[in-house]
Structure 1
Amino acid sequence: MRKIVTSVLAGVGLALACGTSVHAQEKSLTIFWAEWDPANYLQELGNEYEKETGVKITVETTPWSDFQTKAFTEFNAHGDAYDLVVGDSQWLGAGSTGGHYVDLSDFFNKHKLNDVMAPATVKYYAEYPGNSGKYWAIPLEGDAVGWSYRKDWFEDPKEK
């Protein structure tokens, strides 16, 4: 996962270096996400990325209760407060059909992201509509890929 996130940040950094926006000139990238530990870890990766590239990464967070409202308010205003939003998987349809997300199919295919992610992660967190081959997101984390359990709990007659 770390390699994927680093690749995504590298791709975004390249786009910034080639762009003409104020953000590109400042060599900075602002990412918006909900307030939780994975956002903190992303900031740590961003700090490492800055050391290697000089591109400053800032992960702005907001409580989960405000996350969707703030993100879609910014989307609908065509604002520029954030360079990237780590959107929720349930936003994929609205984000892509509403013109808020960028078609990432070429990037996704060029970097063979299908080969490094679990198929269900790609299907449900990146592709829209289903089975279209159109990718609107690069999954940052795919929830649970595997499960473990305490076998002794399931075999305990008192728990049946």
Structure 2
Amino acid sequence: MAKASLMNASPMKIRAARRDDLRALLALYADDGFGRTREAATSGADYERAFHAIAADANHLPIVGKVDVEIVATLLLSFLPGPSRSGAWRAQIEGKRVSAPLRGRGWGKQRRGWAITKARRRGCELVQLTSDRRRSAAHRFYEDVGFEATHHGFKTTLDIQ
């Protein structure tokens, strides 16, 4: 579907991601300056294995947002038990993407609402997400929809042999 026709398209519909959506998901992951370099280095077989593991685990809900027949958004909602907060469950949102030409149309808010509803139904006490510190526009969006920057995150990359 052409970008111009997407701008005037139907509302986004959210559904569970399927294996045959993988090509569209990879395009969304690589649809910005960060993803272009990070996502291009991994083979399709690696993504296939990861998607299979995610889809097989009831604590992970990969979703896509579709407009007409095109996948234009995605996220992964994971449910995590925790030893703190009296053993409270939390929901983790990862892999959040909206197609670049369609950002700012409210679809991020729609997916956030979907994720919050699912988290409440699963008995989660909080919803958390991470975002690269260089994504200032994304940070403004998350604050606008009710998230607070309460922690500093740390990561280390592991060499896989």
| Bigger CA radius of gyration | 1
**Higher percent of residues as strand:** 2
**Higher percent of residues as helix:** 1
The alignment's TM-score, normalised by the length of structure 2, stands at 0.31
The alignment's TM-score, normalised by the length of structure 1, stands at 0.31
